Amino acid sequence: MNDTLQTPVQLTLHDSEQELLNELATFVTSTLTQRDAKLVAYNGERWNGGFDLPFLRTRFCTHGLEWPFGTLPYVDVMDVFEKRFNTSEDSLSGVYGELVGAGLNDLDPFADSGEAVTVWEGGAYEPLITHNVADIRRTRVLMELAERYCSKSDFSMKSLEPVSNEG
């Protein structure tokens, strides 16, 4: 496995958060929903630590935008590692380190995601991008690992489709 961040990453700048969210929604509907894709997170929405989906829901709601992820199946791979593996850690970097090795953990400029928040608040975006790309790549590696060792029934696939699409 290549443990560098050489994977092409396209970075775009937007004048506002709403413009960024509109671009994300366009990408989801024009690209992800056209493929046999699933949305995978590691601790993506748990209370007291989950981040990704609560953050996105809040920001889309704040701007009055439609939720674009409704047609994608979703799985939080953290659940599989808590139930089907005997690791002493439960964090993304901890589980990755125990089962895969240092690799991508060594590329992450932060010891934990809390540091990333502090850097974001200070406006230092380059290390934050490196952290996020490392998180994405670690999550992907762990999902592939879980798919190799666990049965389909071990994954709690979930729908992200809102109960009501009325605004």
**pLDDT, one tens digit for every residue, the chain (167 residues):** 444 555 566 778 899 999 999 999 999 999 888 888 899 999 988 756 567 888 899 999 999 999 999 989 999 999 999 999 999 988 999 999 999 998 889 889 998 878 888 888 888 888 988 998 899 999 999 999 999 999 999 998 898 999 986 65
| Confidence (pTM) | 0.83
For tokens 């799985």, the residue is 75
Specify the amino acid at residue 126: E
Instruction: Please report the pLDDT score of residue 1 as a whole number.
Output: 43
Question: 133-144 burial, b if ≥16 CB within 10 A, otherwise e?
Answer: bbbbbbbebbbe
Q: Are 19 and 59 in contact (CB under 8 A)?
A: no
Q: Domain residue spans in the chain? A: 17-159
